[in-house]
Chains A and B, each alone.
Chain A
């Protein structure tokens, strides 16, 4: 997820402050309680005031009634009015009236009109020595307005006081919450943010002894623990656990700082890419624990043999890097690299056995100011590749030629899928002849790559690339299909006796489906599997003896014959000849080229021939270019031959044409092609 996306998602979830949440949670409650309490108190007070007012007015009515009784009875209505008027000094009284015993209003006073009026009425009793009568009654209308106003005023006051109190509480809460919650939280957050930023564990600066202080202590303890873990993790992330050397990740970081660390842009930096030769063999032979110990030995030697300013890393597996940040020139660098090789090559004891480690080094020397400095590993790797493929156990220095080769290799590797898709791979055929009759008895299918930019490329160059890119099976099926089609055409051309040999790369021998596919393909083209010959090398047998043996037996059961290619150059194991179901042995052209001049080669070929004869194997001599060679072979007893003397590799059409014309090599004019590398 990218940064902006995260921001976009995070935006709606706004940060809600705890303090604010607390305030939001408490303030309404506080306000409500204040309001209800005020309202309750005020309501009680209100009703009490109403009752008091009622009682007061009742008392007023009664006292006035007493005062009024005599003037009323004595019909001094002006006095009655006078007394009644005095009532109006009470501002709650809106009006008052005195009625005589006939119910007529004798006096009526109105102070103020009012809506909210209660009325109270009391009898006016007159008594003297002789009589006691009800002279009338007094009625007082009074208003609760003042009580309402008082209550309203007090309610407002309480409200204002309540609001102020709430406000003060809010402020106090805010301040105290900020001090007691906000600040410690912020301190912890700050520590977390800083820790997030640079990956170190910072403690939170809190000194209080409350829960937050405890939290901070716990947090700091956790940070401390985390800090150690992070340090270890950081070390682990940047170091190889086995050897303790910096790892590939460290290399990347180192490359970034390399230029800056250098004194000047013209300082030369030597980058040695070291790869142990045949480390797999050590693992296989001595086990992985011994392999690990071996690697540790190597790393210790590297460490010991470098200067303090040098930098050693293990990139993984059997790959090491040593960087010398300053060398005077390329030759010095090369010397340094050879020193390293020497150091590595000291014998190591593994399981009481002396093992001599071997390694190849790719050396790249670049100026510190070189913009391609970060590509140093890749460049050194090019050199290493060269060393490994051309001269294992040596130092290869990266130069222009190596880089060119590398670029070509890379181009070709990238072009393989297109090569298949666009049918750039072509199968040519080279005839095998009976050395006695010179008649073509078989054809060997040889692959070519007609690259649109690089022209026709020989298999020697591109087959390793095919193998490395995992396309061996595809190419084999490609060739198989083409061979079957060729058999079909040969049959159609009236030569169903000619067999076709195809080369099987070592990996195909491990593929159990090969036999089934071969049968299916033969069926598709309606050709017999017995017309196919499968050429294998000794190397492919050695690597997976059991699997190879089974595949070969299957193929043979289908009727195909098996030929051992390049015999004499590798192990040339006699045991192989006996163990595997072989039909044919092809003698490598290296033994043929010096014949007939080299007596030794003749002797070797002779031995092979006699051996083959004993084992019942057919012999084929490869690379016959001259007639005397053919003659020599015939004399030795080799029955079949292959080479430019007889046929160059040609497209099938040309082969067919040649067969029809029965003319041997004079009429075959194949296009100019690269010399045969493979087979």
Chain B
């Protein structure tokens, strides 16, 4: 307990030092005013963490980040967004997430008002994408979007499972490695991308069969249920289940519970992978029950501030592409130690966002990898001082 208190104290001190340092650095340039309309709810881990990394980056990059929460109501989100656009004192940038395509009217209003916008995590899709085209074409003020490459994440997760199964020789009597996929849903782009990654990986491995792609609505309990059903079915089919691919961590945790209930030992005769870098997942990784959790996309919040800072300072990310796709990373037992605490404590001020800014002449080129992140971290105990 005393150690924990001390760590907190140290982080607080470090923040104070860094903030003052940032302020000094930004004094030369214009201080930015950024508003983020969050589609999520207060307390919703992902969007909270997105906002937190935004704020942390803002403090490092002289940007004032105002977070408005829609509470998962797209009407609220539109009202909030339109309200911001209509302000007399307009912000420099408005960050939106196009969940349920609710951001489009706000984008159009911002265009009219001359407020620059950036889409985060969810960009335009379908009809909207066709109608409005790429960023800065129809909507000049829509600067671009920043998203995560979840398909690659899905494939990476699957490949980790396959590699382990092959190594452990968890083939079924038919000689195939049998995997269960648990997706969040079948319609949101975020889910589709992940699932596509699984399919890519499985298709590439002839010795792998994805027995089922089940959907558990992102929830732990439903995942537990479908996993239990799958395990029962597999037993009847005399299939040896080698791994369970879960589209997010809660579903991975549900799968773990079902596995245990079925009398199997995760990590020993079956592996589970998840996504989200959630605390519970990290605990399970630490316990050796979860193979990995991919993710880190909550850092999009911080990275978006980096992009806008560079843009404001004249280094336009669109020089590479107005669409920035950030790769996610997997946390395994191997690298758990370096980021585990960061996530657990949400001490995002430890991240030196200035180090991620594009180098002069290389506008639009960013390294948002886990390694880069790890190397950017200040010591938690405030050794960096």
Q: Which residue numbers of A lie inside 8 Å of B, CB to CB?
A: 73-78, 100-104
Contact between A102 and B237, CB atoms less than 8 A apart:
yes
A–B complex contacts, Cβ < 8 Å, 24 sampled? A73-B212, A74-B212, A74-B213, A74-B214, A74-B215, A74-B226, A75-B226, A75-B229, A75-B230, A75-B233, A76-B214, A76-B222, A76-B226, A76-B229, A77-B225, A77-B229, A78-B225, A100-B233, A100-B236, A102-B236, A102-B237, A104-B232, A104-B233, A104-B236
Chain B CB within 10 A, most for which of A73, A74, A102, A104: A74
Q: Is the interface of A mostly helix, strand, loop or mixed?
A: loop
- Report A-chain residues with C-beta under 8 Å of the C-beta of B229: 75-77
- Report A-chain residues with C-beta under 8 Å of the C-beta of B237: 101-102
- Report B-chain residues with C-beta under 8 Å of the C-beta of A101: 237
- Report B-chain residues with C-beta under 8 Å of the C-beta of A74: 212-215, 226
Closest chain-A Cβ to B224's Cβ sits at a distance in Å of 12
- Report B-chain residues with C-beta under 8 Å of the C-beta of A75: 212, 214, 226, 229-230, 233
Chain B CB within 10 A, most for which of A73, A76, A78: A76
- Report B-chain residues with C-beta under 8 Å of the C-beta of A77: 225, 229
Alpha-carbon distance between A74 and B226 when the two chains are bound, in angstroms: 8
- Report B-chain residues with C-beta under 8 Å of the C-beta of A76: 214, 222, 225-226, 229
- Report B-chain residues with C-beta under 8 Å of the C-beta of A73: 212
Within 8 A of A (CB), among B226-246: 226, 229-230, 232-233, 236-237
- Report A-chain residues with C-beta under 8 Å of the C-beta of B233: 75, 100, 102, 104
Instruction: Name the residue of chain B whose CB is nearest to the CB of A106.
Output: B229
Chain B CB within 10 A, most for which of A75, A100, A101, A103: A75
Closest chain-B Cβ to A103's Cβ sits at a distance in Å of 8
Chain A CB within 10 A, most for which of B212, B226, B229, B237: B229
- Report A-chain residues with C-beta under 8 Å of the C-beta of B232: 104
Place the interface of chain B in its size category.
10 to 19
User: Mask for B211-222, Cβ within 8 A of A = 1, else 0?
Assistant: 011110000001
Closest chain-B Cβ to A125's Cβ sits at a distance in Å of 16
- Report B-chain residues with C-beta under 8 Å of the C-beta of A78: 225
Alpha-carbon distance between A73 and B222 when the two chains are bound, in angstroms: 15
Supply 10 further A-B pairs (C-beta < 8 A) apart from A74-B226, A75-B212, A75-B233: A73-B212, A74-B214, A75-B229, A76-B222, A76-B225, A100-B233, A102-B233, A102-B236, A104-B233, A104-B236
Instruction: Name the residue of chain A whose CB is nearest to the CB of B211.
Output: A75
Instruction: Name the residue of chain B whose CB is nearest to the CB of A136.
Output: B233
- Report A-chain residues with C-beta under 8 Å of the C-beta of B236: 100, 102-104
Instruction: Name the residue of chain A whose CB is nearest to the CB of B227.
Output: A75
Alpha-carbon distance between A562 and B230 when the two chains are bound, in angstroms: 161
- Report A-chain residues with C-beta under 8 Å of the C-beta of B226: 74-76
Alpha-carbon distance between A104 and B230 when the two chains are bound, in angstroms: 13
Alpha-carbon distance between A179 and B212 when the two chains are bound, in angstroms: 88
Within 8 A of A (CB), among B164-213: 212-213
- List 5 tightest A-B contacts by C-beta distance, closest first: A75-B229, A102-B236, A75-B226, A74-B214, A77-B229
- Report B-chain residues with C-beta under 8 Å of the C-beta of A100: 233, 236
- Report A-chain residues with C-beta under 8 Å of the C-beta of B212: 73-75
Instruction: Name the residue of chain B whose CB is nearest to the CB of A80.
Output: B229
Instruction: Name the residue of chain A whose CB is nearest to the CB of B222.
Output: A76
Closest chain-A Cβ to B298's Cβ sits at a distance in Å of 29
- Report A-chain residues with C-beta under 8 Å of the C-beta of B213: 74
Instruction: Name the residue of chain A whose CB is nearest to the CB of B183.
Output: A74
Alpha-carbon distance between A74 and B216 when the two chains are bound, in angstroms: 9
Closest chain-A Cβ to B337's Cβ sits at a distance in Å of 37
- Report A-chain residues with C-beta under 8 Å of the C-beta of B222: 76
Instruction: Name the residue of chain A whose CB is nearest to the CB of B234.
Output: A102
Alpha-carbon distance between A77 and B258 when the two chains are bound, in angstroms: 15
Chain A CB within 10 A, most for which of B213, B222, B233: B233
Instruction: Name the residue of chain A whose CB is nearest to the CB of B238.
Output: A102
Closest chain-A Cβ to B182's Cβ sits at a distance in Å of 10
Alpha-carbon distance between A76 and B215 when the two chains are bound, in angstroms: 9
- Report A-chain residues with C-beta under 8 Å of the C-beta of B230: 75
Alpha-carbon distance between A103 and B226 when the two chains are bound, in angstroms: 18
Alpha-carbon distance between A104 and B234 when the two chains are bound, in angstroms: 12
Alpha-carbon distance between A101 and B226 when the two chains are bound, in angstroms: 16
Closest chain-A Cβ to B229's Cβ sits at a distance in Å of 4
- Report B-chain residues with C-beta under 8 Å of the C-beta of A104: 232-233, 236
Alpha-carbon distance between A71 and B233 when the two chains are bound, in angstroms: 14
- Report A-chain residues with C-beta under 8 Å of the C-beta of B215: 74
Closest chain-B Cβ to A70's Cβ sits at a distance in Å of 10
Alpha-carbon distance between A103 and B236 when the two chains are bound, in angstroms: 9
Alpha-carbon distance between A76 and B224 when the two chains are bound, in angstroms: 11
Alpha-carbon distance between A100 and B215 when the two chains are bound, in angstroms: 18
Closest chain-B Cβ to A509's Cβ sits at a distance in Å of 145
Alpha-carbon distance between A74 and B223 when the two chains are bound, in angstroms: 11
Instruction: Name the residue of chain B whose CB is nearest to the CB of A78.
Output: B225
Closest chain-B Cβ to A108's Cβ sits at a distance in Å of 15
Alpha-carbon distance between A100 and B232 when the two chains are bound, in angstroms: 11
Closest chain-A Cβ to B226's Cβ sits at a distance in Å of 5
Alpha-carbon distance between A101 and B230 when the two chains are bound, in angstroms: 12
Closest chain-B Cβ to A105's Cβ sits at a distance in Å of 11
Closest chain-A Cβ to B100's Cβ sits at a distance in Å of 23
Alpha-carbon distance between A73 and B229 when the two chains are bound, in angstroms: 10
Instruction: Name the residue of chain B whose CB is nearest to the CB of A103.
Output: B236
Closest chain-B Cβ to A118's Cβ sits at a distance in Å of 28
Alpha-carbon distance between A73 and B233 when the two chains are bound, in angstroms: 11
Closest chain-B Cβ to A78's Cβ sits at a distance in Å of 7
Alpha-carbon distance between A102 and B226 when the two chains are bound, in angstroms: 16
Closest chain-A Cβ to B288's Cβ sits at a distance in Å of 27
Alpha-carbon distance between A101 and B222 when the two chains are bound, in angstroms: 21
Closest chain-B Cβ to A135's Cβ sits at a distance in Å of 10
Instruction: Name the residue of chain B whose CB is nearest to the CB of A104.
Output: B236
Alpha-carbon distance between A75 and B223 when the two chains are bound, in angstroms: 10
Alpha-carbon distance between A102 and B215 when the two chains are bound, in angstroms: 21
Closest chain-B Cβ to A188's Cβ sits at a distance in Å of 94
Closest chain-B Cβ to A79's Cβ sits at a distance in Å of 10
Alpha-carbon distance between A76 and B213 when the two chains are bound, in angstroms: 12
Alpha-carbon distance between A74 and B185 when the two chains are bound, in angstroms: 12
Closest chain-B Cβ to A174's Cβ sits at a distance in Å of 76
Instruction: Name the residue of chain B whose CB is nearest to the CB of A102.
Output: B236
- Report B-chain residues with C-beta under 8 Å of the C-beta of A103: 236
Instruction: Name the residue of chain B whose CB is nearest to the CB of A75.
Output: B229
Alpha-carbon distance between A449 and B226 when the two chains are bound, in angstroms: 151
Alpha-carbon distance between A401 and B283 when the two chains are bound, in angstroms: 170
Closest chain-A Cβ to B210's Cβ sits at a distance in Å of 10
Instruction: Name the residue of chain A whose CB is nearest to the CB of B235.
Output: A102
Closest chain-B Cβ to A418's Cβ sits at a distance in Å of 133
Alpha-carbon distance between A101 and B213 when the two chains are bound, in angstroms: 16
Closest chain-B Cβ to A81's Cβ sits at a distance in Å of 12
Alpha-carbon distance between A449 and B227 when the two chains are bound, in angstroms: 153
- Report A-chain residues with C-beta under 8 Å of the C-beta of B214: 74-76
Closest chain-B Cβ to A127's Cβ sits at a distance in Å of 14
Instruction: Name the residue of chain B whose CB is nearest to the CB of A130.
Output: B199
Closest chain-A Cβ to B43's Cβ sits at a distance in Å of 28
Alpha-carbon distance between A102 and B233 when the two chains are bound, in angstroms: 7
Instruction: Name the residue of chain A whose CB is nearest to the CB of B225.
Output: A78
Alpha-carbon distance between A326 and B214 when the two chains are bound, in angstroms: 142
- Report B-chain residues with C-beta under 8 Å of the C-beta of A102: 233, 236-237
Alpha-carbon distance between A217 and B215 when the two chains are bound, in angstroms: 101
Closest chain-B Cβ to A379's Cβ sits at a distance in Å of 135
User: Mask for B116-129, Cβ within 8 A of A = 1, else 0?
Assistant: 00000000000000
Instruction: Name the residue of chain A whose CB is nearest to the CB of B232.
Output: A104
Alpha-carbon distance between A74 and B212 when the two chains are bound, in angstroms: 7
Alpha-carbon distance between A78 and B224 when the two chains are bound, in angstroms: 13
Alpha-carbon distance between A76 and B214 when the two chains are bound, in angstroms: 8
Closest chain-A Cβ to B78's Cβ sits at a distance in Å of 33
Closest chain-B Cβ to A350's Cβ sits at a distance in Å of 145
